[in-house]
């Protein structure tokens, strides 16, 4: 047996024990949003720290104003080949309401079989306790077989991911030196489908802005003022209408600065994906892709920036009718960002765009609602190529370089504060019911997930 094969064999041999540990971890009701479960969060953190210490990763539970951070470093990180990695996952879980929709106790994890597929049931089984333990169990197998890990490994486990991570930023800033490594490995994403491994290499960023147009100094009667009085709903509508052309292109000046077309090989891979545009839209009652023309739905979702209107309000919105001309109207706008788009520059240009269209006797106020740039790993980033090859070895299919329409804040925080890129590898499935009743994690996700990390660690050492 090669070094690698012996570790994989150890994973297989120990899988029943790995499963027992996942059942134990799911048993902690570590619901981070609910203060009633504070002690359960603490217990979960201590349990996992104890496990890490047990396999030779020196680990401490750090108290925070919220739930603890678990930070560990392999006892032996000197003179290793490859990058020093910081593995990130979170031990907290979503609330379980409505409890009556669960088929069983969410915290009493059990293995069951459905349609010939074995799964482990329970809140957090997938998001993110199952995913977290794939890495821990991979490390355990290495340590058991070889007494050491192939590369230098540090660990950061958070307990507030499901409640907005209030303690994360201060913690990263306070522990910058300790946590700044060469590469973050994040295990909180999905495969492309149950057979096809994926690395999420693109995450869209976000720029949120609220625009409040004020016209008259009070609400007016449309009989007495309709016509000569400026109507803020009209002004706002015209601004919003101007924000896209007929091809769905965003018209904010400079909006596409830093947006790159897909690399040809990624484009070829995406075009070949079994992603059904019609089915994706049909599922939500639609049939016509509404994004930029010239891009597939999958590209529109994952690789193209957007400017979406998330809310609008003005005037009388109750039932019936009121012949009012409102003083104010407002809209909440968010731009999903990709590549090197600069959220601050886009906010500034959006404001200029609004003000250019504002009558001189009206005014505008803004409320900022967050900003984060997009994230993307270049297709020729060496760890990415190594990781993709390792996953292909395990799953027998090409690894998809996946995009994700939403944001994972940790990724930009690792980049901004710790100066590291993140490689997002996960084994969850869209069907895992994360954040919903009856969450599950396929046994195959767990078992082959552990094996996958064994291979990725070996590959990164090369």
CB of 75 to its own copies, least distance (A): 39
Site string for its own copies, 117-156 (x = CB under 8 A): ----------------------------------------
The pair of structure tokens assigned to 238 is: 């015209």
Question: Toward its own copies, which CB reaches closer, 76 or 242?
Answer: 242
Picking from 462, 457, 459, 460, the residue whose alpha carbon sits closest to that of residue 148 is 457
Picking from 163, 147, 326, the residue whose alpha carbon sits closest to that of residue 236 is 326
The pair of structure tokens assigned to 103 is: 């088929």
Examine residue 455 and tell whether it contacts its own copies (CB under 8 A). Answer: no
Question: Toward its own copies, which CB reaches closer, 56 or 289?
Answer: 289
Distance CA 310, CA 331 (A): 7
CB of 79 to its own copies, least distance (A): 42
Site string for its own copies, 375-404 (x = CB under 8 A): -----------------------------x
Question: Toward its own copies, which CB reaches closer, 263 or 324?
Answer: 324
Examine residue 310 and tell whether it contacts its own copies (CB under 8 A). Answer: yes
CB of 195 to its own copies, least distance (A): 22
Q: φ and ψ at 255, to 5 degrees?
A: -60, -40
CB of 252 to its own copies, least distance (A): 14
Question: With contact defined as beta carbons under 8 Å apart, do 387 and 187 qualify?
Answer: no
Distance CA 341, CA 29 (A): 40
> Which of 125, 190, 231, 371: binder of its own copies (CB under 8 A)?
231
**Which residues in 237-296 contact its own copies (CB under 8 A)?**
237-238, 240-242, 244, 277, 280-281, 284-292
Question: With contact defined as beta carbons under 8 Å apart, do 40 and 92 qualify?
Answer: no
Intra-chain end-to-end CA distance of the chain, in Å: 18
Question: Toward its own copies, which CB reaches closer, 2 or 287?
Answer: 287
**Which residues in 318-377 contact its own copies (CB under 8 A)?**
320-326, 329, 331-332, 334, 336, 359-362, 369-370
Distance CA 189, CA 134 (A): 13
**Which residues in 42-81 contact its own copies (CB under 8 A)?**
none
Examine residue 228 and tell whether it contacts its own copies (CB under 8 A). Answer: yes
Examine residue 98 and tell whether it contacts its own copies (CB under 8 A). Answer: no
Distance CA 24, CA 217 (A): 62
CB of 306 to its own copies, least distance (A): 5
Distance CA 432, CA 204 (A): 22
Q: φ and ψ at 102, to 5 degrees?
A: -85, 140
């Amino acid at each position: 047996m090669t070094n690698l094969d012996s570790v994989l064999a150890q994973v297989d041999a120990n899988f029943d024990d790995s499963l027992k540990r996942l059942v134990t971890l799911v048993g902690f009701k570590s619901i981070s949003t609910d203060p009633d479960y504070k002690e359960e969060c603490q217990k979960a953190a201590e349990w996992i720290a104890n496990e890490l210490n047990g396999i030779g990763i020196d680990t401490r539970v750090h108290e925070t104003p919220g739930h603890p951070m678990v930070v560990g470093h392999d006892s032996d990180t000197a003179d290793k080949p490859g990058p020093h990695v910081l593995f990130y996952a979170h031990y907290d879980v979503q609330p379980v309401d409505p409890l009556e929709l669960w088929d069983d106790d969410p915290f009493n994890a059990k293995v069951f079989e459905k349609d010939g597929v074995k799964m482990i049931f329970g809140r957090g089984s997938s998001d993110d306790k199952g995913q977290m333990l794939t890495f821990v169990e991979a490390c355990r197998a290495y340590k058991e077989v070889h007494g050491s890990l192939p590369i230098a490994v540090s660990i950061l486990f958070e307990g507030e991911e499901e409640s907005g991570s209030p303690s994360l930023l201060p913690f990263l800033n306070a522990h910058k030196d300790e946590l700044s490594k060469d590469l973050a490995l994040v295990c909180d994403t999905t495969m492309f489908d149950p057979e096809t491994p994926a690395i999420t290499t693109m995450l869209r960023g976000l720029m949120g802005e609220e625009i409040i147009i004020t016209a008259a100094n009070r609400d007016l009667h449309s009989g007495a003022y309709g016509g000569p009085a400026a109507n803020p709903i009209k002004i706002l509508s015209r601004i919003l209408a101007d924000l896209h052309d007929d091809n769905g292109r965003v018209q904010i000046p400079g909006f596409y600065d830093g947006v790159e077309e897909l690399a040809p090989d990624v484009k070829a891979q995406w075009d070949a994906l079994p992603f059904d545009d019609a089915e994706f839209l049909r599922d939500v009652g639609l049939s016509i892709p509404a994004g930029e023309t010239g891009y597939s739905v999958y590209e529109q979702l994952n690789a193209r920036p957007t400017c979406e209107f998330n809310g609008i309000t003005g005037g009388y919105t109750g039932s019936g009718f009121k012949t009012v001309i409102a003083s104010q109207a407002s809209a909440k706008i968010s731009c999903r960002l990709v590549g090197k788009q600069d959220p601050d520059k886009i906010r500034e240009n959006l404001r200029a765009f609004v003000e250019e269209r504002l009558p001189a006797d009206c005014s505008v106020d803004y409320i900022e609602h967050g900003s984060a740039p997009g994230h993307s790993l270049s297709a020729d980033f060496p760890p990415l190529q190594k990781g993709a090859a390792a996953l292909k070895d395990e799953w027998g299919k090409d690894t998809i370089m996946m995009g994700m329409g939403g944001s994972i804040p940790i990724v930009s925080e690792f980049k901004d504060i710790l100066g590291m890129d993140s490689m997002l590898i996960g084994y969850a499935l869209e069907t895992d019911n994360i954040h919903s009743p009856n969450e599950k994690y396929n046994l195959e996700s767990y078992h082959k997930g552990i094996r996958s990390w064994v291979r990725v660690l070996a590959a990164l050492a090369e």
